[in-house]
Amino acid sequence: MIAKPLLKAATSWIAIVAFTAACATTPSAPIAAQPAGAPTVAEAQSFVDNAERQLAAMSERESRIAWVYSTYINYDTEWLQQRSDSEGTQARVRLASQAARYQSLDLPADLRRKVDLLRLSLTLPAPQREGAADELAEHNAHMGSLYSTSRIDYQGRQVTLDELESLMGTERNPARLAEMWTKWHDTARPMRGDYEQMVRIANEGARELGYPNVGDYWLSNYDMPPEQMEREVERLWGQMQPFYEQLHCYVRQRLNARYGDAVQPETGPIRADLLGNMWAQEWGNIADIVGPPTRGGYDLTHLLEQQHYDARRLTETGERFYTSLGLAELPDTFWQRSQLTRPRDRDVVCHASAWDLDSRDDIRIKMCIQIDADNFQTVHHELGHNYYQRAYQNQPYLFQNGANDGFHEAIGDFVALNTTPEYLVQIGLLRRNQVPPAAADNALLMRQALDKIAFLPFAISVDQWRWRVFRGQIQPADYNTAWWQLRRQYQGITPPGGERPADAFDPGAKYHIANNVPYLRYFLARVLQFQFYEAACRQAGWQGPLHRCTVYGNEEVGRRFNAMLEMGQSHPWPDALEAFTGTRQMDGSAMVHYFQPLMTYLEEQNRGQQCGW
């Protein structure tokens, strides 16, 4: 996940006090009133230039506050975060409203793009009426803090979410899985009222900017009309849906064989808590149950533990992949200021994120790293954000972003696809004689499919729910019921114990709902990462099966890759896609090519089964 930039971390409570005092005396610069008369191109250029200067300064201040809040959660830092969110939202709403003045002008391409990006620069637009931005910020901060500070009672002690995530991946007792799952989802119930008010306020703000609701506002940020983007999502999902249905069918029969009909029936939806993940979004943690048997395989978590990896070494390994492509090493400040492990003395936001501090070289990640295969992948992913941020640092402020939000998420995932057995050999984690034989490919592909393919319908259902909530198609009384209807429709899963209470708020048990992070980017990233990967392997002249390819150490691929990254958001995303892949359309065919051997295996295994739900 990408986070806003900041300048530097507060390293003590003295620093926090000094920082707080400084914030109180450095309010956002006032935004000039719009000139009278008909707008001109020169006026539009002046407006955009001033807006970029102001936004750059605001972003640094806001991000410093956000970092302190995320790494020192308490009453005071939550107060700072609320105030920062409110002031920043008000300023951006005014800029977005003023940008609309220049919509009808015939502007140069770069200027036109900046005006459009200004209008779409908010995640949740507040209306301009007095107090609205403060109210919106208060609701958002409350939801975010509740999520990050919640714990559950489990086995006689208080357990945090990051520990729960590990336990969900290793526990095989269905009663304990149901207990952890249910207790965590119940922590989100108090968010329901905040979420309802957030929707009301943000929709009012979207209408002031000329959009019918926040859902359409989000969908307008993809260089095409909202309805066209929705169709594009369904087209891409259609390319992979047959594969997911086969995967679902196979996993269900393996869970039925493990647990029996009383826990997991052999037909219908799959019980969500049995899938190795709190949100049933990725299923790789149950590969030991459902994966095809193989000889000569390896356990990456065990390899990391065997070689005594710690959080620093894990991160350094991720960095070396990028430097092997010819990219620069991370700056010293990265190592001095990143949060790599959970502090013992305070609450923090453990959800992994990457931060650009000053739009130059002050970059860092914030994680609570566990030494396991998942975190090995996550580190490679988060560093992808940092290297993207560094690559586009010379672009104007409004172009310092991914070509679309899916690009930003796809960069690190593309690199993580390269962490094949051959890569593990090259970095010394795996011995040559431990490389699985070709006969083990279905097991390797299954592990990937349980994460990559299983994730797709989850990603769609998250934002399908939000788009419908913002459009008023789902009313507050139906929040939870509609959530599970969509999860069943797209994913074919059901909560443990049957129906969930209608007055629960299970969507809020997911970070991106509680913190209002649009989720379509992750679906697009799943598609784009395979396009990037296939293009890179083609450039490298790879001749073997696509899923065995790694471009580790290929500086020519790195040169072309970095050229795409340097474009930032300066052009419509099809231009950036074409620069690296040679195509202008997002396409799931690379994903199909990657997994085709496994698809054949699944169809054979599912013969005679009643698939679907």
Nearest to 285 by CA among 271, 299, 305: 299
Confidence bin at 38 (pLDDT 50/70/90): confident
Q: Residue 396: CB partners within 8 Å, gap ≥ 6?
A: 52, 114, 570
Question: 139, 142, 185, 512: which one is catalytic?
Answer: 512
Q: What is the mean pLDDT of residues 172-196?
A: 97
State the angle between helix axes of 13-24 and 41-71 in degrees (0 to 180), rounded to the nearest 10. 150
Residue 342: phi, psi to the nearest 5? Answer: -70, 125
pLDDT in tens, 448-459: 999 999 999 999
- Report d(CA 233, CA 235) in Å as an integer: 5
Based on the residue annotation, tell me whether 382 is a catalytic residue of this protein. yes
Residue 271: phi, psi to the nearest 5? Answer: -70, 125
Query: Considering the chain, what is the average pLDDT of its residues?
Result: 91
Confidence bin at 121 (pLDDT 50/70/90): confident
Give counts: helices (H), strands (E), the chain: 24, 7
Asked which of 6-10, 196-200, 405-409, 455-459 is least confident by mean pLDDT, the reply is 6-10
Q: What residues form DSSP beta bridges with 494? A: 271
- The pLDDT of residue 128 is 87
Question: 163, 382, 409, 534: which one is catalytic?
Answer: 382
User: What percent of the chain lies above the pLDDT cut of 90?
Assistant: 77
- The pLDDT of residue 21 is 32
- The pLDDT of residue 36 is 67
pLDDT in tens, 334-385: 999 999 999 988 989 888 999 997 888 889 999 999 999 889 999 999 999 9
41 pLDDT above the threshold of 90: yes
- The pLDDT of residue 13 is 27
Supply the Cα-derived Rg of the chain in whole angstroms. Answer: 24
- Report d(CA 4, CA 438) in Å as an integer: 43
Place of tokens 């890759």: 561
Asked which of 122-136, 203-217, 288-302, 534-548 is least confident by mean pLDDT, the reply is 288-302
- The pLDDT of residue 299 is 85
Long-range contacts of the stretch 219-227 (C-beta < 8 A, 24+):
219/467, 219/520, 220/120, 221/120, 221/404, 221/405, 222/404, 222/573, 223/404, 223/572, 223/573, 223/574
Count Cβ atoms below 10 Å from residue 72 Cβ, excluding itself.
Answer: 20
Instruction: State how far Cα 29 lies from the chain centre.
Output: 32
Based on the residue annotation, tell me whether 302 is a catalytic residue of this protein. no
Task: Report the DSSP pairing between strands 152-154 and 157-159.
Answer: antiparallel
**The tokens of 487 are what?**
């999860």
Confidence bin at 295 (pLDDT 50/70/90): low
Q: What is the mean pLDDT of residues 568-588?
A: 96
- The pLDDT of residue 37 is 77
- The pLDDT of residue 23 is 37
- The pLDDT of residue 29 is 46
Higher pLDDT, residue 90 or 601: 601
pLDDT in tens, 429-476: 999 988 888 878 898 899 899 999 999 999 999 999 999 999 999 999
- Report d(CA 532, CA 514) in Å as an integer: 31
Asked which of 68-82, 272-286, 573-587 is least confident by mean pLDDT, the reply is 68-82
Q: Residue 255: CB partners within 8 Å, gap ≥ 6?
A: 263, 264, 270, 271, 274, 286, 289, 290
313 pLDDT above the threshold of 90: yes
Q: How long, in residues, is the chain? A: 613
- The pLDDT of residue 26 is 40
- For the whole model, what pTM was predicted? 0.85
Asked which of 20-34, 83-97, 200-214, 216-230 is least confident by mean pLDDT, the reply is 20-34
Residue 42: phi, psi to the nearest 5? Answer: -65, -40
User: What percent of the chain lies above the pLDDT cut of 70?
Assistant: 93
Asked which of 36-40, 128-132, 161-165 is least confident by mean pLDDT, the reply is 36-40
22 pLDDT above the threshold of 60: no
- The pLDDT of residue 174 is 97
Count Cβ atoms below 10 Å from residue 110 Cβ, excluding itself.
Answer: 15
481 pLDDT above the threshold of 90: yes
| Three-class HEC string of 267-304 | CCCEEHHHCCCCCCCCCHHHHHHHCCCCCCCCCHHHHH
Q: What is the mean pLDDT of residues 14-25?
A: 32
Confidence bin at 296 (pLDDT 50/70/90): low
- The pLDDT of residue 462 is 97
11 pLDDT above the threshold of 90: no
pLDDT in tens, 253-283: 999 999 999 999 999 999 999 999 999 999 9
Nearest to 584 by CA among 535, 520, 512: 535
